[in-house]
Structure 1
Amino acid sequence: MIYVDADNAVYGRLSTILAKKLLEGESVTIVNAAKVAVTGGRDAVLGKFRSRRDIGSVRKGPYYPRNPKAILKRSIGDMLPKDKAKGKEALKRCIVYDGVPPELKDKQFEKFEKAQNNRVSGFVTLTEVAKIMGKEVKVIE
């Protein structure tokens, strides 16, 4: 079981690293998904997520998640072979939380150096993306 602190981690890099860990058979629990950084220009990032939200219809989909933990889990899932059994099983071993739940306070969390955000500015957090998507986020601290 791997416990990952996603605070200030880059969205895509973190997703690829965790998708590989899941395919290797590890169980992954991610905390602080609301604090994940999506790099790029603010208008471009928010426009990309707005356009994803507007695709399809209410009845037919595709349905794009609106809260940070579901957005992160979907990005990890999109990097897995979901058509195969190993991909479905891998995604079931992934648990994501917006904050740090009380039962995980005493755990030792891992941070991946390759996925850390080193930019001072020019990024958006998944909390801000969720607000654009139409969901207010209450993060457990």
Structure 2
Amino acid sequence: MSKMIIDANGAVFGRLCSFVAKKILEGSEVAIINSEKAIITGNKKDIIGKYDAVVRKGGHSQKGPRYNRDPSRMLKRGIRGMLPDHRKGIGKEALSKVKCYNEIPEEFKDSKVLKINAVKKVKSMSLKELSEKI
């Protein structure tokens, strides 16, 4: 069982989530740092509209469902969506192997970090920007 540290700075949200989901299903433990700097590609107005509709959809304010606005929790939920049967069995066990951090914790300061390829010039917004807008 190997331990991976992934830097999400400039990484595309969906590609990062699918990569991490594959690795944890293989049995690796994954720590994701700088999760607030992961990007979602597309028009900012459309991205905000989509997430705002999901967050505000239905239900009583004191009951659920509640959606997190914290970038690290948004990233973990994206990974959860790419796992099979996240409520029990393989998916639940795999999701417990993921830790997401908005910044670099002290324990990972001097560690070797895997960098996911960033996309160059494309319309996008970071998870931090999105969490502030919704």
Give the TM-score taking structure 1 as reference length: 0.87
Q: Segments of 4+ in structure 1 off by > 6 A?
A: none
Query: RMSD between aligned alpha carbons?
Result: 1.2
Deviation at 1:62, TM superposition (A): 1.9
Structure 1 stretch displaced more, 53-62 or 40-49: 53-62
Structure 1 stretch displaced more, 16-25 or 59-68: 59-68
> Structure 1, residues 57-101: CA drift from partner, whole Å, max 9, x if none?
223322111110000000001111214411001000000000101
2:132 equivalent in structure 1: 131
- Where do 1:39-118 residues align within 5 Å? 39-57=41-59, 58-81=61-84, 82-113=86-117, 116-118=118-120
1:33 equivalent in structure 2: 35
Looking at structure 2, the residues matched to 26 and 19 of structure 1 have their Cα atoms a distance apart, in angstroms, of: 10
Looking at structure 2, the residues matched to 77 and 56 of structure 1 have their Cα atoms a distance apart, in angstroms, of: 22
Opposite residue 85 of structure 1, the aligned amino acid is G
Opposite residue 95 of structure 2, the aligned amino acid is L
Looking at structure 1, the residues matched to 23 and 88 of structure 2 have their Cα atoms a distance apart, in angstroms, of: 17
Structure 1 stretch displaced more, 7-16 or 79-88: 79-88
How many residue pairs align between the two structures?
Answer: 130
Deviation at 1:130, TM superposition (A): 0.7
Structure 1 stretch displaced more, 81-90 or 5-14: 81-90
State the identity %. 38
Looking at structure 1, the residues matched to 79 and 16 of structure 2 have their Cα atoms a distance apart, in angstroms, of: 8
Looking at structure 2, the residues matched to 2 and 40 of structure 1 have their Cα atoms a distance apart, in angstroms, of: 29
Opposite residue 35 of structure 1, the aligned amino acid is K
> Structure 1, residues 5-28: CA drift from partner, whole Å, max 9, x if none?
000000011001111111111100
Gaps of 5+ in 1: 134-141
Gaps of 5+ in 2: none
Looking at structure 2, the residues matched to 63 and 19 of structure 1 have their Cα atoms a distance apart, in angstroms, of: 23
Deviation at 1:121, TM superposition (A): 4.2
Q: 1:3 aligns to what SS in structure 2?
A: strand
